[in-house]
Amino acid sequence: MRATTPGYDFARGIWRENPVLVQLLGLCPALAVTNTVANSLAMGLATFFVLVGSSLLVSTLKNLIPHEVRISAYILIIATFVTVADLVLAAVVPDIHKALGAFIALIVVNCMILGRQEAFASKRPVGRALLDAVGTGTGFIIALLMMGGIREVLGYGTFLGWPLFGASYEPWIIMILPPGGFFTLGFILLAFSWRESRRQEKPSVRDWPHGVGAATRRSA
Amino acid sequence: MNEQPPADPPALRLLGTLTLAGALAGLLLVVVNGWAEPRIMAHRAEVLREAIQEVLGGPERYETLFLVDGRLTAAPPADADTLKMDRIYAGYDAEGRSIGLAISGGEPGFQDVIRLLFGFDPTTGRITGMKVLESKETPGLGDKIEKDSSFVAEFAGPAPPLIGVKSGSGSGDENEVDMITGATISSRTVIDIINHRLEELEPYLLRIEGDAP
């Protein structure tokens, strides 16, 4: 297990190991409910709440949960938080709850959340688990907002319901239909891997004094 | 990562841990549900109330009529479970005259069940309005059944049984409704729900006319 700094634990999930854009986890909600910015935000916040709550609890209880039943225990904890989020959304923002439909309940099977419990929260102190969950959750919200922003602006011609273009704008209906989700995600991933490959081909100036080996080691 | 796997803990401990965790989770959910449920029910009642106002053109008050033993009545037997009964809503104007009935119905549309409320005036025999309560129809196409105001406006005034016609090709008959281009199945479902519900309730609707207060 590599030692990491608290700052790295927090920042990693936001960008460099973004759950959706780099790890390709949690794609189901990222494709299904990102047709508007408001839906993306609600889904992101609900997932954030479940991830942070579960990581805190799993990290606190890690010594009490027997190894053999840990996955069942994690799922139980996650499902409880999801049901709480589901009820709170239905009570507070019924319209958004209606728009998200079954996808709130499906947060239970979001492998990003279970993955963070098994790979991180169950092995680290509570503080680190919290930082990691907040970072990963923020990364998830950012990814969903990128998807939702692009799809709403092109598909409805609005941002958070505010019209951006004149009446002459013909919305690209395909962008708010399921194919639009795949197109948007595809283009975002393309941009990400293009940027990543450029970063690897051109090592930064700092690497040169160590010779070519430093750059090769990094990309290996 | 090189710790030895611990000896198997007794099965009882595994069971105990999960049972305790399940009980605690259940307790938490009971508390949260106790807080959330009244709010959810209040919101549903509010949505229904607004829909009744809309499809009946703003009645002064309305009354819920339950279908009990083949008869519509405002006072169901005290021991009956009203939640499971079929019901309609009768609207009255300020002078207490009946101005129409709001009837809900649901049938499978293109994606999932479409549930809607429509107003029917038995004295003129015409539909007075339609409002979709629940639908998961395709965004941008099928969801026009609730978002396209010209389609919704089609349901102010036609006489049942309704017939769906291709937009612009109707003969101007009073039971024609222009369907939405690109959302034929969703439009037809809306029309079918109204026709089927009226057909089903017709014998009872005639009877309340005689009983009207």
pLDDT in tens, B6-42: 566 688 888 888 899 899 999 999 999 999 999 999 9
Which residues is B120 bridged to in the sheet? Answer: B101, B127
Cα separation, B109 vs B142, in Å, equals 9
Looking at the structure of chain A, the number of domains it has is 1
Among A31, A69, A82, the strongest candidate for a mutation testing the B interface, having the largest count of B CBs within 10 A, is A69
Tell me: pLDDT of A57 over 70: yes
In the predicted structure, residue A18 carries a pLDDT above the cut 50:
yes
- B47-99 pLDDT, tens per residue? 888 999 888 888 888 888 888 777 777 777 777 777 777 888 888 888 888 88
> Interhelix angle for A178-201 vs A126-155, to 10°?
120
User: Bigger pLDDT: B204 or A157?
Assistant: A157
pLDDT score of A217: 47
Interface test with B, best of A35, A87, A170 (most B CBs within 10 A): A87
Nearest-CB residue to B40 (from A68, A90, A176): A90
Asked whether the predicted pLDDT for residue B200 surpasses 60, the reply is yes
CB contacts of B36 in chain A (<8 Å) are 87-88, 90-91
Q: How many CA atoms lie within 13 A of A132 on its CB side?
A: 26
Residue A90 has pLDDT above 60, yes or no: yes
Name which residue leads in pLDDT, B129 or B204. Answer: B129
Confidence band for B4, pLDDT divided at 50, 70 and 90:
low
Average pLDDT on A69-79 reads 91
Interchain pair B36, A35: CB under 8 A: no
Which of A95 and A185 is assigned the larger pLDDT? A185
CB B128 within 8 A of CB B156: yes
Give the nearest partner residue to B17 out of A1, A69, A171, using CB atoms. A69
Out of B18, B40, B47, the one facing A91 most closely (by C-beta) is B40
Q: What is the mean pLDDT of residues B160-186?
A: 83
Do B14 and A94 make contact, defined as CB atoms within 8 angstroms? no
Residue numbers of the domain that contains A111: 6-219
pTM listed for this prediction: 0.73
Q: Mean pLDDT over residues B153-173, rounded?
A: 82
Count residue pairs from A and B with Cβ separation < 8 A: 68
Nearest CB to B36; choose among A76, A90, A98: A90
Question: pLDDT tens-digit profile of B141-155?
Answer: 888 888 888 889 888
In a domain, A44, yes or no: yes
**Does any domain span residue A97?**
yes
- pLDDT at B209 (0 to 100): 46
A67 assigned to some structural domain: yes
Q: pLDDT tens digits, residue range A40-52?
A: 999 999 999 999 9
Taking the CA of residue A132 and the nearest CA in chain B, the distance in Å comes to: 20
Q: How confident is the prediction for chain B on average, in pLDDT?
A: 83
Least confident of A99-113, A118-132, B38-52, B61-75: B61-75
Q: Residue A163: inside a domain, yes or no? A: yes
Percent of chain B with pLDDT over 70: 92
What confidence score (pLDDT) does residue B211 get?
47
Phi-psi label, residue B141: left if phi above 0, alpha if psi -120 to 50, beta otherwise: alpha
The reply to whether A1 falls in a domain is: no
In a domain, A194, yes or no: yes
Domain contains A191: yes
Per-residue confidence band for A53, with pLDDT thresholds at 50, 70 and 90: very high
HSE, CB side, 13 Å, CA atoms: give it for residue A207: 14
Complex confidence, ipTM: 0.71
Which is higher by pLDDT, B69 or A86? A86
Residue of B14, B29, B39 with shortest CB distance to A91? B39
Average confidence (pLDDT) over A2-8 = 78
Q: Is it the case that residue B208 has pLDDT exceeding 60? A: no
Question: Would you state the pLDDT for residue A206?
Answer: 53
Inter-CA distances, B50 with A96, B47, B149, B175, Å: 18, 5, 17, 26
Q: Is the pLDDT of residue A17 over 70?
A: yes
Return the amino acid letter for A157: G
Over 60: is that where the pLDDT of A216 sits?
Answer: no
Q: Strands (DSSP E) along A38-157, which ranges?
A: none
pLDDT at B23: 94
Residue A156 is given by DSSP the state: T
Which residues in chain B are contacts of A78 at CB distance < 8 A?
A: none
Model pLDDT, residue A219: 46
- B18–A76 CB contact, under 8 Å: yes
Which residues in chain A touch residue B140, judged by CB atoms under 8 angstroms apart? Answer: 155, 171, 173, 176-177
**pLDDT given for residue B210 in this prediction:** 42
Q: What's the rounded Cα separation, in Å, for the pair A24 and A112?
A: 9
Best mutation site among A63, A80, A124 for testing chain B: the one with the most B CBs within 10 Å? A80
Q: Does residue A99 lie in a domain region?
A: yes
**d(Cα A114, Cα B44) in Å, to the nearest integer?**
34
A66 within 8 A of A143, measured Cβ to Cβ: no
Nearest to B194 by CA among B130, B143, B108, B147: B130
